[in-house]
Amino acid sequence: MDISGLLGTASTSYTHSNNPISLSTKSGEKVSLPELCRSVTPPCRLNPLLYNGHLQTFWTVFKNQDVPICYKRKVFEADDPRYAGTFAVDFVVKAYDDTEVDMPSRTTHFNGDEFEGVRSLDSKPMLVTLHGLSGGSHELYLRHVLAPLVSEDGGWEACVVNSRGCAMSKITSGVLYNARATWDVRQVVKWLRRQFPNRDLYGIGFSLGANILTNYLGEEGSQCNLKAAVVCSNPWNLEVGSLALQRSWLGLEVYSKTMGSNMKKLFESHVEQISQNPRIDVDRVRNVKYLHEFDRELQGPTWGYPTEGAYYRDASSSDSLLAVRIPLYAIHADDDPIAVKEALPYEEFKQNPFAVLCSTTKGGHLSWFESGGGRWFAKPATGFLMKMAKDINLSQLSQDHIFPLAADANPDAEGPHFDPMRRKLQIHVEP
């Protein structure tokens, strides 16, 4: 009898290309991307009392461990008229005692002089972070990753791009975000590249933020300004995930209902602005119960999708994975009850030499609680990022491969080709 499961040990497996990219270390050695990922991933030993994905995920409600991270907030004005409005970015700073009304804990706005002095010529690595559905920079799962990186020993800088309306931020354009809302992170990365020309930039996304980040990486392709990225508990195929939630009582009445309720609260906090959108029927939004109903009544009309299914198919990141051209490490639990296993793009991982999927048999959704109170996923996530920043010469990313991907096909060449980033949503701006 295998008692490892009873002791909280989860099995770990990896999915990747048979011909992965080769990375050069700063000492001149070569290491493949899967070898690097394995080297930074410790055994997955979790709290044996939280023996399945539901218990792991439920524990996030009760686990109240404090991981102190302080932020200063800057509100950006969108530079693309197609996505007009404002969004908030929270920058990790040294601890301070100030507080500010109508702001999350340990978060205040930059004053003018402070923000003017942000620009730096230092070469510290910097992390761009995307949170999960209706979350924000205050989320505990996010701070578990940031804390060791921004510590004195870690030496990183970091920021969190809050989705519009989240983390007590204001919206000014009458629309919230969606699952493929890559425009704000794109603007932030470009801004960071100008402000910190000597810093290597990295990315990490959690849950819906992982989906957005993967879409962004695919859209940017080989021109991406990020050096490497991590995604945790990515839902990947949103339609498959939504249908899976609707098939069970727990999925529908607990997870979907809770996420739908959270989005309705977010909607109500910005209803004055959102109600100005003539496509939105406020009463219909207020009457929804589940997440897919919310997406049907708000996301669909806002962005012009006829159904929530059309929105999910267009915003999913499973195809975008094929177009990613920087090292990407994905961490997922097989028993995740929200970002379900059947939605994982295993075959796409096998086709992309730039990506590695680490799957654990246990862990739940953004959980992986250990007996000592820590969260296991933070170890491979931070280990991967630190290894990339300290030991890998990313300026010499091996180009020895001829990547046989349809995503790299020349659209002008004869014969059929597949474009994983072709999007159905078209946004026009009145002249």
User: DSSP string covering 46-96, please?
Assistant: --TTS-SHHHHHHHHHH-------EEEEEEEEPSSGGG-SEEEEEEEE---
**Contact status, residue 362 vs residue 10, Cβ threshold 8 Å:** yes
- Residue 28 carries which side chain, given as an amino acid letter? G
> CA end-to-end span of the chain, whole Å?
70
Please tell me the distance from the alpha carbon of residue 85 to that of residue 74, in angstroms, as a whole number.
14
CA–chain centroid gap for 102, Å, is: 25
- Residue 242 carries which side chain, given as an amino acid letter? S
| Structure tokens that stand for 176 in this block | 């919230």
Which of the residues are catalytic?
207, 336, 365
Would you say the C-alpha torsion 326, 84, 287, 304 has a positive or negative sign? negative
DSSP code for 162:
P
Q: Write down the H helix ranges in 119-256.
A: 140-150, 183-195, 208-220, 238-246, 249
Please tell me the distance from the alpha carbon of residue 26 to that of residue 215, in angstroms, as a whole number.
30
| Structure tokens that stand for 362 in this block | 């246990």
* Burial class for 121, CB neighbours closer than 10 Å (0-12, 13-18, 19+): exposed
**Contact status, residue 51 vs residue 42, Cβ threshold 8 Å:** no
- Looking from the CA of 343 toward its CB, the CA atoms found within 13 Å total 28
Report the 10 Å Cβ neighbour count for 400: 8
**Contact status, residue 234 vs residue 318, Cβ threshold 8 Å:** no
- Residue 9 carries which side chain, given as an amino acid letter? T
**Contact status, residue 156 vs residue 150, Cβ threshold 8 Å:** yes
